[in-house]
Amino acid sequence: MNIFQMAYDYRSFFLSGLQYTLLLAVLGVFFGFILGIIVSLLRMSKFWVLRFVATAWVEFLRGTPMLVQLFLIHYGLATVGIEFTAIQSGAITLSINSSAYLAEIFRAGIQGVDRGQTEAARSLGMKQGMTMRYIVLPQALKSVLPAIGNEFITIIKESSIISFIGVADLMFEARSVSTITYDGMTPLVIVAFMYFILTFSMSKLLGRFERRLNTDDRG
């Protein structure tokens, strides 16, 4: 069976896996985005305890393999009575892992905003919270949007580890097709090509979006 015939005959497997892969990637970046902003603000807090907690969060998640984090959440927490479904464990793992990287991206974006604007806002009577919400964060987020897009591409690729706990993503379905057809190579080639199409398309879209932002800034 050639690669095109297999892709067509088992399209339901691959399309089902694609749905789960995209779902997990979107959930990971969405919740990672929210957590990342919170962690980045905590890292810049004037209270050392909050800075310590946020720093420990970032360093631990960036310094340990995502697969270990996945097993800790799905299997480790189950031993103390905290159980999640495979989808929930996958989404939580991708979210918290993504939050550590996005937190550093946001922190760099916030620190890159001209301090003069913050001082001007404070001189006009705006409180620190309002200044951060209306002046600093909008500019910081705009400057780091390309990096957020790159994180989404990374999460799409790294979501493949979720198949280890039984989520029927692309990798899981590739193994299922291999079991049915006794072909260990072709399903993996098909999945690799699907991942490539996803990431390449996202990369091109992000490139166009970044150029659009630069054009708007110059205008």
Instruction: Report the half-sphere exposure of 174 (CA within 13 A, side-chain side).
Output: 22
Among 49, 150, 159, 151, smallest CA distance to 100 is for 151
Report DSSP state, residue 161: G
Mean pLDDT rounded to a whole number for the chain? 89
What is the model's pLDDT at position 218? 58
Q: Tell me the per-residue pLDDT of 161-207, one tens digit each, with 9 for 90 and over.
A: 999 998 989 999 999 999 999 999 999 999 999 999 999 998 888 88
In Å, what is the CA distance from 66 to each residue of 36, 77, 135, 136, 148? 17, 16, 35, 31, 19
Q: Which amino acid is at 191?
A: V
Q: Tell me the per-residue pLDDT of 143-165, one tens digit each, with 9 for 90 and over.
A: 888 888 888 899 999 999 999 99
Least confident of 117-121, 135-139, 176-180, 201-205: 117-121
Token pair recorded at residue 65: 């393999």
Q: Tell me the per-residue pLDDT of 28-79, one tens digit each, with 9 for 90 and over.
A: 989 999 999 999 999 988 899 999 999 999 999 999 999 999 999 999 999 9
3-class state of residue 183 by DSSP: coil
Q: How far apart, in whole angstroms, are the C-alpha atoms of residue 31 and residue 16?
A: 23
* Mean per-residue pLDDT, 1-23: 92
> Domains of the chain (ranges plus CATH)?
17-168 (1.10.3720.10)
Q: How far apart, in whole angstroms, are the C-alpha atoms of residue 30 and residue 95?
A: 8
Distance of CA 148 to the CA centre of its chain: 8
Question: What does pTM read for this prediction?
Answer: 0.87
Token pair recorded at residue 14: 């691959």
Longest Cα–Cα distance of the chain, Å, equals: 72
